């Protein structure tokens, strides 16, 4: 190999970045490092504007100004766009950046420190992840070989420091400096993990939204609520350990899950029973039972059509029960245990409604139709729904709403329809994302299921809070 070719190959290898879609769009052997460097400089530098956040209208104006600039930027500075974006004439990432700021401002008009925190995490964490990933060659992440460990650690370090400084300057947060540092670190870790997932989607809103959500939840934590619930939590620990072990063994005995799925489910069962008692673990058990039974209905017919559910793994457990397990600790850490209990049941209602509707619909639903185009679809297609499947899903969502009557707090008994509506809407959300994002290759089935349960939890809790 000639020295020139060697140097060129070395330069190309050192220009590896995280955005797979950008690299895939480049002609073979071409890497515009100067354009990407300028793009990253702008991405990080725009975070400095978060330091001057002072009022709602000023922040909203900055976001809207950035959104307007994102539309005209390709005409003024086309070199900032990546090759495939120059062909399109616009950049989704450039537009999504200020759009995320506008959305956060509208969602948190009285908590501008959260807006500043989400903005800063998007600017410094996401921006420096690429810089560190390109500059420091290191081991690849086992769940996403396209991204490196150094890039993720760079996200956490610079995202944490930049966001901490920004929030301290903006002010208005309710934490001590040490408490704020811990909260921002948790936000940086969560945002970095989400950014590292193997999906070719624009992660600017995802990073900003995740950081803002962590900070919002941290505000809800109340020491007095934990002290009041501490005795009950400690008393439930022995039963929770035994119950988790029994459920793991039973789940594995059904051969519907592998050991990774059984152990993940055991951890979730421990969390749910410790925090909620019977209500929490009842939701998990009910989902597992109805899901397993539904998957066995017409199994030979589904297997012949190659639509039968394969053995579930830890990814399936996280996708269907992860949101409930994340909400459960807030039942004992906040003054609103009722709200988070409804969120847990809403997540399970959505997961069960979607699972049963799909399994029954494949066998008895007849010809399904696309939820987006309303045209005939093949059995098992993403986003394909049938009248039988939808009615079955609705019945399951209502049945899971009835789990609210297991709660000792009578206030929760009125949450039945909130949980049912949340579960059914989560089911429809799953079908819609399957027909769009999953078919386009942006999300896989587990990510769609996670979004389904998240939407069910949020809607059920929102309706209950009205």
Decide if 185 contacts 160 (C-beta within 8 A): yes
> What pLDDT sits at residue 82?
67
Residue 279 has a CB neighbour count (10 Å cut-off) of: 23
Phi-psi region of 380 (alpha: psi -120 to 50; beta: other; left: phi over 0): left
> What pLDDT sits at residue 22?
36
Decide if 316 contacts 260 (C-beta within 8 A): no
Locate 298 and state its tokens: 């017409």
Residue 54 has a CB neighbour count (10 Å cut-off) of: 10
**What does each of the 466 residues of the chain score in pLDDT, given as a tens digit?**
433 433 333 333 333 333 334 334 333 333 445 666 777 888 899 999 999 999 999 999 999 999 988 877 766 766 666 666 666 666 778 888 999 999 999 999 999 999 999 999 999 999 999 889 888 878 999 888 889 999 999 999 999 999 999 999 999 999 999 999 999 999 999 999 999 988 777 789 999 999 999 999 999 999 999 999 999 999 999 999 999 999 999 888 888 788 988 999 999 999 999 999 999 999 999 999 998 888 878 666 666 555 555 678 888 899 999 999 999 999 999 999 999 999 999 999 999 999 999 889 888 878 899 999 989 998 878 899 999 999 999 999 999 999 999 988 888 999 999 999 999 999 999 999 999 988 888 888 899 999 999 999 999 999 999 8
> What pLDDT sits at residue 301?
65
Distance of alpha carbon 350 from the chain centroid: 15
Distances (CA, A) of 423 to 50, 183, 399: 37, 31, 10
Distance CA 347, CA 121 (A): 27
First CA to last CA distance, the chain: 70
User: 76: buried, middle or exposed (CB in 10 Å: 19+, 13-18, 0-12)?
Assistant: exposed
> What pLDDT sits at residue 313?
86
Decide if 327 contacts 348 (C-beta within 8 A): no
> What pLDDT sits at residue 198?
83
Phi and psi angles of residue 180, each rounded to the nearest 5 degrees, phi first: -65, -40
DSSP classification of residue 139: P
User: Read out DSSP for 30-85?
Assistant: ---HHHHHHHHHHHHHGGGGGGG--SHHHHHHHHHHHHHHHHHHHHH-GGGS-HHH
Angle at 396 between CA 395 and CA 401, to 5 degrees: 100
User: Read out DSSP for 100-124?
Assistant: HHHHHHHH-TT-HHHHHHHHHIIII
């Amino acid at each position: 190999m000639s020295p020139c070719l060697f140097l060129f190959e070395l330069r190309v290898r050192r220009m590896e970045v995280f955005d797979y879609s950008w690299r895939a769009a480049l002609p073979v052997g071409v890497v515009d490092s100067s354009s990407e460097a300028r793009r990253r400089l702008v991405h990080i530098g725009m975070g400095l504007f978060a330091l001057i956040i002072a009022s709602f209208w000023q922040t909203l104006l900055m976001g809207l100004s950035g959104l307007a600039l994102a539309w005209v930027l390709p005409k003024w500075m086309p070199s900032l766009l990546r090759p495939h974006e120059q062909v399109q004439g616009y950049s989704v990432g450039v537009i999504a950046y200020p759009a995320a700021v506008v959305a956060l401002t509208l969602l948190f008009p009285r908590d501008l420190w959260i807006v500043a925190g989400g903005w800063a995490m998007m600017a410094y964490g996401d921006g420096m992840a690429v810089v560190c990933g390109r500059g420091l060659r290191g081991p690849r992440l086992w769940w996403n070989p396209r991204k490196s460990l150094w890039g993720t650690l760079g996200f956490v370090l610079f995202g944490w420091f930049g966001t901490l400084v920004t929030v301290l300057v903006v002010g208005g947060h309710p934490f001590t400096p040490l408490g704020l540092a811990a909260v921002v670190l948790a936000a940086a870790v969560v945002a970095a993990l989400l950014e590292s997932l193997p999906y070719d989607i624009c992660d600017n809103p995802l990073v900003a939204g995740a950081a803002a959500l962590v900070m919002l939840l941290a505000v809800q934590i109340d020491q007095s609520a934990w002290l009041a619930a501490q005795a009950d939590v400690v008393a439930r620990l022995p039963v929770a350990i035994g119950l988790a072990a029994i459920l793991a063994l039973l789940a594995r005995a059904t051969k519907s899950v592998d050991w990774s799925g059984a152990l993940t489910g055991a951890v979730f069962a421990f969390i749910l029973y410790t925090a909620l008692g019977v209500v929490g673990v009842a939701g998990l058990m009910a989902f597992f039972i109805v899901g397993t039974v539904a998957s066995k209905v017409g199994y030979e017919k589904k297997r012949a059509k190659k639509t039968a559910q394969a053995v579930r793994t830890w990814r399936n457990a996280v996708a269907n029960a992860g949101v409930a397990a994340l909400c459960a600790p807030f039942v004992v850490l906040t003054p609103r245990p009722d709200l988070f209990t409804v969120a847990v049941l809403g997540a399970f209602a959505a997961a069960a409604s979607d699972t049963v509707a799909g399994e029954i619909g494949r066998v008895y639903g007849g010809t399904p139709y696309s939820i987006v185009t309303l045209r005939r679809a093949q059995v098992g297609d993403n986003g394909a729904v049938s009248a039988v499947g939808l009615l079955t899903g609705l019945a399951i969502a209502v049945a899971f709403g009835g789990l609210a009557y297991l709660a000792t707090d009578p206030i929760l008994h009125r949450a039945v329809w909130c949980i049912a509506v949340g579960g059914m809407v989560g089911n429809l959300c799953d079908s819609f994302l399957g027909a769009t994002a999953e078919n386009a290759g942006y999300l896989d089935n587990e990510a769609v299921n996670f979004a389904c349960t998240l939407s069910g939890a949020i809607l059920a809790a929102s309706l209950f809070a009205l």
